[in-house]
Amino acid sequence: MSAITLNVDDRGVATVLVDHPPINLMTAAVFVELAKLTSRLATDDEVRVVILRSANPEWFIAHFDVEAILGFPTDTAPPAELPGFHLMCETFRTMPKPTIAVIEGRVGGGGNEIAMSCDMRFATQQAVFNQPEVALGIIPGGTGTVRLPRLVGRGRALEIILGCDDIDATTAEQWGMINRVLRATEINPFVDRLAGRIASFPRDAVAAAKASVVRADQELGDDLLAEATAFSSLLDNADSRGAMTAFLAHGGQTPEGERRLGDLAGEISG
């Protein structure tokens, strides 16, 4: 059964819905499905705006599957081109149409990296953000170490990445991780209206405006390749593998454990 569904309305607004119970874990299969769809949306002239959201209001995307990460190859040679997850995130950032993440619950790790790669992020008051990777002996290896400093600044990025603690929606808004915090009853009408407005404007002007803003970010390729190399270099580290195994043993990737991800990250080495 597909974990990703797509609806494109008559305005050209595409809604991508992630539905992978119980916690929207980003498994390898879900990633492949989302990556293929993202690539297709980027070149579909009928699509004017892309909205990414979850079918489960408790989780946007929990994070990438740690069991899968434990099986990743440990080759530390620098990649010649962006790995698949980086490429998908960069497609959200650079495609010639706006991308909007709607975050109603918890989002962590790779899920947060996907959200941060979107052009705009709107969250409910119940949303919680977390980058737990360092507690697991790795780093945010899917654009997080490159993306977060540009959004929130060096000090706050390091607090998020090194602290591995939960960040509430109000703080995320104040820090610039997200555009706005909205009530649960307000978020869908707000995003729908915004997406519809943008979709009604001349397509070439929207694409040119976004491309100009993307250029202001400057080239990220070298930084993303360096991040991918650093991530891979930790995969064969005994302490890292022990931390990831402990994360799973302490309830990681279960609804109960993921609801307290910040606390769980602090308990791994205890």
* Radius of gyration (C-alpha) of the chain in whole angstroms: 18
Per-residue model confidence (pLDDT) at position 39:
98
Per-residue model confidence (pLDDT) at position 270:
62
Query: Each residue of 110-162: pLDDT tens digit?
Result: 999 999 999 999 999 999 999 999 999 999 999 999 999 999 999 999 999 99
Return d(Cα 110, Cα 198) in angstroms, integer.
Answer: 27
> What does DSSP assign to residue 19?
-
Return d(Cα 260, Cα 265) in angstroms, integer.
Answer: 9
Residue type, 160: I
CB 196 within 8 A of CB 14: no
Residue 55, in any domain of the structure: yes
Residue 15, in any domain of the structure: yes
Q: Which helix (H) or strand (E) holds 264?
A: helix 261-267
| Nearest residue to 130 via CA among 175, 178, 166, 173 | 166
Return d(Cα 243, Cα 164) in angstroms, integer.
Answer: 13
Residue 141, in any domain of the structure: yes
| Nearest residue to 34 via CA among 108, 115, 139, 141 | 115
**Range with the lowest mean pLDDT among 88-92, 93-97, 220-224, 250-254?**
220-224
219 — pLDDT class (breaks 50, 70, 90): confident
Give the 3-state secondary structure of residue 100. Answer: strand
Residue 216 CA, distance from chain mean position: 21
Query: Each residue of 57-93: pLDDT tens digit?
Result: 999 999 999 999 999 988 767 788 899 999 999 999 9
Predicted TM-score (pTM) of the model is 0.96
Residue 110, in any domain of the structure: yes
Residue 180, in any domain of the structure: yes
Q: How many domains does the chain divide into?
A: 1
Q: The tokens of 157 are what? A: 């990025």
Indicate whether 5 pLDDT > 80. Answer: yes
Return d(Cα 14, Cα 112) in angstroms, integer.
Answer: 20
What's the domain range around 142?
4-185+217-267
Per-residue model confidence (pLDDT) at position 73:
85
Q: What is the mean pLDDT of residues 215-237?
A: 90
Residue 12, in any domain of the structure: yes
Indicate whether 218 pLDDT > 80. Answer: no
Residues of the chain with pLDDT > 90, as a percent, come to: 92
Indicate whether 28 pLDDT > 90. Answer: yes
Residue type, 20: H
Per-residue model confidence (pLDDT) at position 153:
97
Residue 206, in any domain of the structure: no
Q: Read off the CATH number of the domain in which 81 is found.
A: 3.90.226.10
Residue 210, in any domain of the structure: no
Helix axes 154-163, 144-152, angle to 10 degrees: 130
